């Protein structure tokens, strides 16, 4: 990027400082959000009935992002359902979508960290919180605020609306047939109740707070016949939809009733093996067995994965493990998890959260895995320079305009594989004027804008990657992309910075400018000539964009 346009703002941003993390955990209060212990950059402290905690990374397991703006000493926390919280250092007031309410303690600056009263802020996001003095831990969970059911044609739809991310575990049991759906780390805000359904193979649903510490909210579906269930997680809200329908088209009416069965005496099912059929963004996992299987599907995070536990089942191959390395799935492994009782466990390691549909027939368990895409988003990629303007030129003659075009095309390929729409500001060595770049993106309906550059410095010893942003809504995108670049490139991460670049001004959408490496640095230039390195840059940008799309609301309804 040419520095002519760079006017550094008097805006500074305080972000995660990994140093001191270990110290913080040893000395301070622990914070566990939706089952995940937050890595705090400095210790959280308990004072005046509140846990004061640094904002860095604090809200991410609740699906929210916090930012601090030194220019007006303000703190902004926002989530996927467009709750925006604003606070200011030294002022005990919280603005929730513009409405003021008092805070028990004002946010403050301690060293380089911004501290906020954690329970009050999490509560404003709709979360349940409790500080346990015994283990000096603040527990925070998403809450389920409503359950609505609807029978359409032969399917039962259950919409579960939560105040934050929830993990879903489905458990299909027989004798009698029932489906148990657990929402892990989710507190039930609605009253326990029982609903008559009498449709789609379901006679009734019972809901209850099944467990506390950690919270598990449970729905039990009493079934008139075997069913299959599809679990869909919305990309734009914290809505989980369960679709339950009779298995296949054949009903089990007629014939003698099934023998009641004592599970402890039933012969164990044999699992003959596991295979994966790739299709589209993901594919289908098939578990081959000899009997009808009782199974449980659970979602885990860090890394995202699905675990399928098959009860009373012996895994004949003993162990199976294979890499998929597809756009959405990393690998699959299957093994005997416990011998007594015999449980077979199959784990699918995902590249990110996915939707899934489980069905069973003819001794086979099928798990259809579907991409969880940034539907509704259109990503604009802007390879810098081009045509008359080659940008910076490296010591051995590599042109910035050529290197960044190649990287942008690779990012496009990766995003399109996820089903995300992409617009290119240029896809050839064309001249595009600077003010035209955001305008072209806007006209194409872009919802985020990513400009790609290679840096240059008069001091040729300077190298590494950095990402620029200008508007508050662009900060999280810059941070997420830069985090990924820092992890994979093996060159210094120079962090995120603000600059008044033309392409970052007033676009109205999250807009960032990535300086992937210094083309003026001999080694960085050599890296940029290497297709493997350019692919790594593209993968990091792709991953950062995907992380952002998972949190930032799509402007279009799904
Ligand atoms: Zn440039």
Place of tokens 């590494």: 464
pLDDT level of residue 555 (50, 70, 90 thresholds): low
Q: What is the pLDDT of residue 434?
A: 92
**Count of domains observed in the chain:** 3
Q: Are strands 343-350 and 355-361 parallel, antiparallel or unpaired?
A: unpaired
Q: Which of 133, 160, 157, 128 is nearest to 145 (CA)?
A: 160
For the ranges 58-62, 139-143, 262-266, 313-317, the lowest mean pLDDT is seen at 262-266
392 C-alpha to ligand 1 centroid (Å): 7
Does residue 397 sit in the same domain as residue 298?
Answer: no
The pLDDT tens digits of the residues spanning 155-191 come to 898 888 888 888 888 888 877 888 888 888 888 887 6
- Alpha-carbon torsion angle 475, 480, 482, 483, nearest 10: 130
Does residue 335 sit in the same domain as residue 419?
Answer: no
pLDDT level of residue 20 (50, 70, 90 thresholds): very low
Does residue 232 sit in the same domain as residue 215?
Answer: yes
Gap between the Cα atoms of 175 and 178, Å rounded: 8
* 5 domain residue, yes or no: no
Phi and psi at residue 433, in whole multiples of 5°?
-70, 150
Token pair listed for 474: 């662009």
Contact 54, 107 (CB under 8 A): no
* 15 domain residue, yes or no: no
Which whole-number Å values give the CA distances from 286 to 271, 298, 307, 321, 355, in the listed order?
Answer: 11, 16, 14, 14, 16
Active site residues: 515
Q: Which of 197, 204, 152 is nearest to 176 (CA)?
A: 204
- Under 8 Å CB-to-CB from 533, ≥6 apart: which residues? 489, 527
Phi and psi at residue 41, in whole multiples of 5°?
-75, -15
pLDDT level of residue 553 (50, 70, 90 thresholds): low
2 C-alpha to ligand 1 centroid (Å): 6
DSSP class of residue 474 equals G
User: Is the C-alpha dihedral spanning 546, 548, 551, 557 positive or negative?
Assistant: negative
Is a pLDDT exceeding 70 seen at residue 463? yes
Does residue 340 sit in the same domain as residue 453?
Answer: no
The pLDDT tens digits of the residues spanning 194-203 come to 888 888 889 9
465 C-alpha to ligand 1 centroid (Å): 13
408 C-alpha to ligand 1 centroid (Å): 13
The number of beta carbons lying within 10 Å of the beta carbon of residue 264 is 7
DSSP class of residue 123 equals H
390 C-alpha to ligand 1 centroid (Å): 9
* 134 domain residue, yes or no: no
Place of tokens 């279009």: 556
Does residue 207 sit in the same domain as residue 117?
Answer: no
Does residue 300 sit in the same domain as residue 167?
Answer: yes
Does residue 509 sit in the same domain as residue 406?
Answer: yes
* 259 domain residue, yes or no: no
Which whole-number Å values give the CA distances from 124 to 89, 106, 187, 331, in the listed order?
Answer: 18, 15, 15, 39
Does residue 361 sit in the same domain as residue 503?
Answer: no
What's the pTM value of the predicted model, to 2 decimals?
0.52
Gap between the Cα atoms of 545 and 558, Å rounded: 18
Q: Which of 222, 223, 224, 189 is nearest to 208 (CA)?
A: 189
Burial (0-12, 13-18, 19+ Cβ within 10 Å), 198: exposed
The upper half-sphere exposure of residue 518, i.e. CA atoms within 13 Å in the direction of its Cβ, equals 17
5 C-alpha to ligand 1 centroid (Å): 11
Does residue 436 sit in the same domain as residue 536?
Answer: yes
Q: Which of 486, 467, 386 is nearest to 433 (CA)?
A: 386
Residue 145: helix, strand or coil by DSSP? Answer: strand
3 C-alpha to ligand 1 centroid (Å): 9
Helix locations, 449-530, DSSP H: 475-488, 522-529
Gap between the Cα atoms of 431 and 376, Å rounded: 29
Q: What is the domain extent for residue 81?
A: 21-125
455 C-alpha to ligand 1 centroid (Å): 6
Residues, beta carbon < 5 Å, ion ligand 1: 1, 384, 391, 453
Q: Last residue of a domain, which of 80, 100, 125?
A: 125
468 C-alpha to ligand 1 centroid (Å): 12
Is a pLDDT exceeding 50 seen at residue 83? yes
Mean pLDDT of the chain: 83
Does residue 170 sit in the same domain as residue 187?
Answer: yes
410 C-alpha to ligand 1 centroid (Å): 18
pLDDT level of residue 454 (50, 70, 90 thresholds): very high
Residue 414: helix, strand or coil by DSSP? Answer: helix
* 258 domain residue, yes or no: no
* 147 domain residue, yes or no: yes
Token pair listed for 266: 């039933």
Q: Last residue of a domain, which of 313, 341, 370?
A: 370
Place of tokens 């995202």: 304
Q: Last residue of a domain, which of 370, 394, 415?
A: 370
15 C-alpha to ligand 1 centroid (Å): 26
Is a pLDDT exceeding 90 seen at residue 377? no
Gap between the Cα atoms of 305 and 350, Å rounded: 5
Q: Which of 363, 493, 516, 498 is nearest to 9 (CA)?
A: 498
425 C-alpha to ligand 1 centroid (Å): 14
């Amino acid at each position: 990027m040419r520095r002519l346009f760079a006017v550094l703002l008097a805006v500074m941003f305080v972000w995660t400082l990994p140093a001191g993390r270990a110290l913080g955990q040893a000395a301070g209060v622990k914070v566990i959000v939706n089952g995940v212990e937050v890595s705090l950059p400095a210790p959280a402290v308990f004072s005046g009935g509140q846990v004061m905690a640094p904002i860095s990374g604090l809200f991410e397991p609740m699906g929210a992002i916090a930012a601090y703006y030194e220019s007006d000493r303000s703190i902004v926390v926002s989530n996927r359902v467009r709750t925006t919280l604003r606070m200011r250092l030294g002022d005990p007031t919280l603005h929730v979508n513009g409405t003021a309410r008092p805070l028990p303690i004002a946010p403050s600056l301690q060293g380089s960290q911004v501290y906020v009263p954690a329970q009050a802020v999490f509560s404003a996001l709709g979360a349940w919180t409790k500080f346990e003095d015994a283990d000096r831990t603040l527990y925070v969970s998403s809450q389920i605020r409503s359950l609505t059911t609807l029978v359409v044609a032969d399917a039962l739809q259950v919409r579960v609306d939560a105040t934050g991310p929830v993990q879903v575990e489905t458990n299909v049991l027989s004798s009698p047939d029932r489906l148990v759906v657990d929402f892990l780390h989710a507190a039930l805000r609605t009253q326990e109740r029982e609903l008559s359904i009498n449709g789609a193979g379901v006679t009734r649903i019972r809901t209850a707070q099944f467990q506390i510490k950690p919270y598990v909210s449970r729905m039990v579906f009493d079934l008139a016949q075997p069913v299959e269930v599809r679990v869909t997680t919305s990309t734009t809200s914290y809505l989980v939809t369960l679709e339950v329908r009779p298995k296949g088209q054949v009903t089990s009416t007629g014939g003698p009733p099934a023998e009641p069965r004592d599970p402890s005496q039933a012969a164990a099912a044999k699992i003959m093996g596991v295979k994966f059929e790739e299709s589209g963004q993901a594919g289908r996992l098939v578990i081959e067995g000899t009997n009808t299987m009782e199974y449980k599907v659970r979602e885990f995070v860090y890394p995202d994965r699905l675990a399928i536990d098959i009860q009373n089942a012996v895994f004949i191959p003993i162990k199976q493990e294979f890499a998929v390395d597809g756009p959405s799935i990393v690998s699959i492994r299957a093994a005997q998890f416990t011998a007594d009782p015999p449980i077979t466990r199959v784990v699918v390691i995902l590249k990110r959260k996915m939707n899934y549909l489980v069905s069973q027939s003819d001794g086979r368990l099928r798990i259809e895995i579907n991409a969880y895409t940034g539907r509704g988003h259109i990503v604009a990629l802007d390879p810098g320079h081009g045509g008359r303007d080659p940008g910076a030129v490296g010591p051995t003659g590599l042109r910035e305009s050529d290197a960044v075009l190649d990287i942008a095309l690779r990012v496009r390929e990766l995003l399109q594989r996820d089903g995300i729409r992409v617009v290119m500001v240029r896809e050839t060595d064309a001249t595009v004027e600077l003010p035209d770049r955001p305008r072209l993106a806007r006209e194409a309906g872009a919802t985020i804008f990513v400009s790609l550059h290679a840096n240059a410095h008069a001091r040729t010893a300077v190298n590494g990657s950095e990402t620029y942003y200008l508007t508050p809504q662009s900060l999280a995108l810059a941070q997420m992309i830069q985090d990924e670049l820092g992890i994979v490139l093996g060159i210094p991460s120079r962090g995120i910075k603000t600059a008044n670049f033309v392409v970052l001004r007033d676009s109205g959408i999250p807009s960032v400018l990535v300086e992937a490496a210094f083309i003026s640095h001999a080694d960085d230039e050599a890296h940029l000539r290497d297709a493997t390195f350019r692919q790594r840059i593209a993968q990091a940008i792709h991953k950062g964009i995907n992380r952002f799309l998972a949190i930032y609301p799509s402007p279009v309804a799904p």
